[in-house]
Structure 1
Amino acid sequence: MVVVSSLFLALCSLSLLAAHPLVVRDAVSVSTPLGTAQGVVGVDGATRFAVRYANSTRWAPSAIVTEWALPNDADDPAALPLQCPQLNADASTYSEDCLSMILYVPDNISVGSDAPTLVWIHGGSFDSGSATFPGLDGSNLGIATDSIVVVIQYRLGALGFLPPDGSTNLGVQDTINALTFLSQVVPSFGGDASRITLAGQSAGAGMIRALLAGPSASSLFKSAIMQSDPTDYGFTSLATQALFQSTFNDLVSCSPSDIACHTALTIDTILDAQSNVENNALSLDPSAALGEPLHPVLDGTLITSPLDSTAPFPTIDKPLLLTNVRNESVPTIYGVALPGPDAFPPVVFELSSDAFLGVDRTAVLLASPFYETDPDGDSRVQLERLGTDYIWRCPTWTFGRNWVAAGGGSVHVGMYTIGATYPGNEEIPECLFDGAVCHQDDIMILFGTTSTPTPAQSALTIEIQARYKAFLATNDPNVDGLDNWEPAMSSDVHAMQFGAPGEVPVLACDPAFWGAAVQYDYQFFGL
């Protein structure tokens, strides 16, 4: 659905390199199997270690490093890694040498602690983002959860998902290599390699879904936390991937096997061709997920299950936390698709739905009680509700039900009703309305990096971090003194509201509506 999805790309393509200010108290060294790790200790009570975890030449599979090395050949342990090449970013902030991670180790964790590790995978539509984006300093989160927090990077866009030779999922393989590297070194910092939990937001959650669907990654983590996964987007089919690939190759004028031609391409040429493919994805293939047209591919080797309602779920015994925010689609609708101070008439809802969902599915929407005309006559209200349900909330709930029904471990589902405005969202007035929680507004709540938080934000940060601490330790997010968070069932997900009492109303997320009467994209297109 273009109207609902297109801003998701723009929103998650914000190229805001975080400063990650660190007041250094001292430098520190740790002996690892790969050599001496150099880090810097902050006054907040955690030590930060930045490291290159893998090497790769352009469009070749990455290889795990055999020696500990600072990112980008730096000689200062306080230096942060450059981000991977991406659109809308200054060239001085990125490098193809970007396969790095940052470890945040609380002062009370040392060798023998056997502490859990939380690995954060950043969002950004698989074509933007980094370990140094705003709010991702893991110090406070690590201290609050008694865990090592690790934030990783992986190759993005065409460099990670459109290699001209037709191979697939380089970015996914990078992530697997990051986890493999981590399992080798984390005991040296006091972590238990068997107690790694993956967590990620938006495309980062989508990457976790890809790892859950890849048997080769299964042994590398024990549980997962998926925040704001656009679950409506199934994995890319091989046919769609081949079409995007041939289009990209034509744009850069390189044959699949011409390595010399691939090597000679400038980053600008690659990013320009990538942008062309992304901007024209829907016209190339109606099944394209406009919010993230370049994403993991169901290749049958690395990723072997669609993990959606088009096929039976495999039984993967891992507990999951699945969360959304109240207004996932506000930035999509009000920020890019239909911006401006003036209301859009109700007919825009029907026309948009007709164009991108088809007449039959639109008729079901119009006849339902879930998307009634806004009293003020602004169709954006309906479209925002539709986008939040269709792209994020309802398919995530369906995923949770399917996971439980397949016997894949416990699932807890939740929704943020309080957030902290993420950089970029403050430019959208509707994200500043009382009670609005926009896509990405959960990140700084979780990490405890909200600037001058309100009492409500501080209270929610304490609650979320306490629940995550319990989940990392016991696979159960329930904590004495907090409301009981019921696990999801195959018929009722019991979605808890974070910041408000009670459960989230089911409304359109009834299994008999989305995925049946209307169908998600992955079903409709048979991905």
Structure 2
Amino acid sequence: MTDGRVTAARVKHVRVPTAYGVVRGAVERGVAVFRGIPYAAPPVGARRFRAPGPPEPWTGVRDALAYGPTAPKRPYAPPLDRLLPDPAVPGEGCLNLNVWTPSPKPDPAGLPVLVWIHGGSLLHGSSAVPVYDGTAFARDGVVLVSVNYRLGVEGFGVFPDAPANRGLLDQLAALAWVRDNIAAFGGDPDRVTVAGESAGAVSVAALLAAPRAAGLFRRAVLQSGVPAAVAPEAARGTTGLIAKRLGVPATAAAFAAVDPEALLTAQTEVTGGGDPLTGRTSFQLVVDGELLPRDPAEALRSGAAAEVDLLVGATTEEYRLWFVPGGLTERVGRLKLRLALLKFRIPNATARTYRANRPDATPGEILGALATDLLLRVPLNRLADARAGAPGASYVYEFGWPSPVQRLGACHALELGFVFDTLAHPDTVALTGPDAPQELADAMHRAWVEFAATGDPGWPSWDTSRPVRLFGPAGPALVLAPRDDELRGWEPYRSART
């Protein structure tokens, strides 16, 4: 793996023209890599809280040899910082992207393109995370594009004098850049797949529901994230708390005058508390009436983006990344479990089924399994159900290989090194341990490649038999309606909530 920097002494350079000027990348491990290409103007000064504008054209050749600046952010808090390394690159032009391609030349046929939108709770992450290295995709014939976008209050704070969902607008601008420029890198603008994990998957779901994104991609991948957005009034609280801490009005004009480091400090203090049980203050996408005219879950269930092929799934034990490192699993006893069931109005019969299927599980593990399904597996299954018979096919997977690191099991984010085939990188090893099965990475990565190339990852599309590709410790396997008794237990919950 490289660190994102190359030297002329040991690499071959390649040049590609874009709509804004020529960029110079490098050939690394047999593929051409271009890093830090601006797709929009730097969001600083008067642009800090505005919708993204086009980058300034340049003359001559612009080096694209190192990752560009990342959005303002702070690292994950301990102990997650050791499991989820999150590099920061200084600079102001954070609206940039990277391209890995096997053929940096226009081709009438064109190669499939996969655009990656990183996760991180809309607060963390970047395209410079080494796990997202796109070499394996380019090696296997897919042009990989990874994108930075504004985070935190700059990207998702809700103000009366600024557009909402600015980070999502950034992603939309990046997809428009791909449409207009990717052919010069050997990609086919008519064969674009947009993919993301966690908050990146929530973003992808919102793009599926956004009328302005129509036609920018043909396929989509949601990894451990679901369609979700809230009303603006429900999301203003986080912005208001930061404003109160800073002693300024909750307006974009006032926030733009605040020093970026002071703003980050206040944001971290406001969003850093809580846990998965008590909840925490956070940022969310909002139904703003413009980019998102309606709730994405409702829009997709009603037929939005029905022509787009969809690949969705989650890990078997998502909760363990959030529960285990901080000891929450052990702190949940029978009383806390009972109170949580009441708080979230989970039917007693549903909880009994989970207990019966896990006779050796602790109360914390039972709660984690319920939370995983409530927040991810159930809504993803329902999304696939709603799309049955749609022009675009739907495919469902589950990642079940358990990490031996800190008893994390098949936790949130564990599948990323398998999808990108980056198991050897030390940042991946922090989560997987040193002996993760390469054969499983080969299979999972190949499925994503095939989906981007053909729309078919290699197993049956979703129908009444509910086929799921399980990437587990015994290798890939097709399972019909896994743990269907547990899923059926949520039907009373849906009836009560709708």
CA distance in 2, matches of 1:391, 1:63: 35
Distance 1:60 1:377, change over 3 A: closer
The 5 A counterparts of 1:444-455 are 444-451=417-424
Distance 1:61 1:273, change over 3 A: same
CA distance in 2, matches of 1:302, 1:310: 13
1:369 Cα offset (Å):
1.3
Candidates 240, 255, 259, aligned match of 2:249: 255
Alignment partner, residue 299 of structure 1: 288
1:248 Cα offset (Å):
3.5
Alignment partner, residue 80 of structure 2: none
Candidates 16, 24, 28, aligned match of 2:14: 28
1:236 Cα offset (Å):
1.6
Deviation track 1:458-489 (CA, whole Å, cap 9, x = no partner) reads 222222233223222221222xxxxxx11112
CA distance in 1, matches of 2:143, 2:87: 31
Distance 1:159 1:508, change over 3 A: farther
Distance 1:343 1:156, change over 3 A: closer
TM-score, length basis structure 2: 0.84
The answer on whether the counterparts of 1:343 and 1:378 sit within 8 Å (CA) in structure 2 is: no
Q: Does 1:353 align with 2:341?
A: yes
CA distance in 2, matches of 1:346, 1:186: 55
The 5 A counterparts of 1:284-323 are 290=279, 293-308=282-297, 312-316=301-305, 317-323=307-313
SS of the aligned residue for 1:270 comes to helix
1:160 Cα offset (Å):
0.3
1:271 Cα offset (Å):
2.1
Ranked by relative contact order (alpha carbons within 8 Å, sequence separation 6 or more), the top structure is: 1
Distance 1:397 1:127, change over 3 A: same
CA distance in 2, matches of 1:29, 1:298: 41
CA distance in 2, matches of 1:290, 1:343: 16
Distance 1:104 1:153, change over 3 A: same
Alignment partner, residue 3 of structure 1: none
Alignment partner, residue 234 of structure 2: 240
Distance 1:133 1:28, change over 3 A: same
Q: Does 1:392 align with 2:368?
A: no
CA distance in 1, matches of 2:272, 2:339: 21
CA distance in 1, matches of 2:384, 2:104: 35
Q: Does 1:363 align with 2:348?
A: yes
CA distance in 2, matches of 1:174, 1:487: 32
SS of the aligned residue for 1:193 comes to strand
Distance 1:137 1:470, change over 3 A: same
SS of the aligned residue for 1:226 comes to strand
Alignment partner, residue 517 of structure 1: 492
1:343 Cα offset (Å):
7.5
TM-score, length basis structure 1: 0.80
The answer on whether the counterparts of 1:135 and 1:443 sit within 8 Å (CA) in structure 2 is: yes
Alignment partner, residue 449 of structure 2: 469
The answer on whether the counterparts of 1:166 and 1:245 sit within 8 Å (CA) in structure 2 is: no
CA distance in 1, matches of 2:11, 2:455: 35
1:251 Cα offset (Å):
3.2
1:364 Cα offset (Å):
4.0
Decide which moves more: 112-121 or 212-221: 112-121
Kindly report the root-mean-square deviation, in angstroms, between the aligned alpha carbons of the 2 structures.
Answer: 3.4
Candidates 101, 104, 111, aligned match of 1:105: 101
1:300 Cα offset (Å):
2.1
Structure 1 unmatched ranges of 5 or more:
1-17, 479-484
Q: Does 1:382 align with 2:366?
A: yes
Deviation track 1:409-457 (CA, whole Å, cap 9, x = no partner) reads 11000112237x6xxx94xx112xxxx3211111111111111898973
Alignment partner, residue 143 of structure 2: 148
Alignment partner, residue 160 of structure 1: 155
Deviation track 1:63-84 (CA, whole Å, cap 9, x = no partner) reads 12252699xxx97532211211
Q: Does 1:501 align with 2:477?
A: yes
Alignment partner, residue 64 of structure 1: 54
SS of the aligned residue for 1:488 comes to coil
CA distance in 2, matches of 1:312, 1:501: 28
CA distance in 2, matches of 1:69, 1:517: 63
Deviation track 1:180-236 (CA, whole Å, cap 9, x = no partner) reads 11211111111111111101111111100010110101111111011111x2x7312
1:512 Cα offset (Å):
4.3
Distance 1:472 1:222, change over 3 A: same
CA distance in 1, matches of 2:424, 2:283: 33
1:380 Cα offset (Å):
2.1
The answer on whether the counterparts of 1:373 and 1:379 sit within 8 Å (CA) in structure 2 is: no
Deviation track 1:269-318 (CA, whole Å, cap 9, x = no partner) reads 22233234435799xxx9x9947831211112211232326995124210
Decide which moves more: 330-339 or 196-205: 330-339
Decide which moves more: 343-352 or 463-472: 343-352
Deviation track 1:130-152 (CA, whole Å, cap 9, x = no partner) reads 001131110112212x1110000
The 5 A counterparts of 1:410-421 are 410-418=393-401
SS of the aligned residue for 2:155 comes to helix
SS of the aligned residue for 2:17 comes to strand
The answer on whether the counterparts of 1:468 and 1:477 sit within 8 Å (CA) in structure 2 is: yes
Distance 1:362 1:134, change over 3 A: farther
Distance 1:379 1:237, change over 3 A: same
CA distance in 2, matches of 1:274, 1:122: 20
CA distance in 2, matches of 1:96, 1:493: 47
SS of the aligned residue for 1:274 comes to helix
Identity of aligned residues (%): 23
CA distance in 1, matches of 2:485, 2:175: 34
SS of the aligned residue for 2:214 comes to helix
Distance 1:458 1:278, change over 3 A: same
Alignment partner, residue 51 of structure 1: 37
Distance 1:437 1:258, change over 3 A: closer
The answer on whether the counterparts of 2:317 and 2:412 sit within 8 Å (CA) in structure 1 is: yes
CA distance in 1, matches of 2:485, 2:92: 41
Candidates 158, 162, 178, aligned match of 2:174: 178
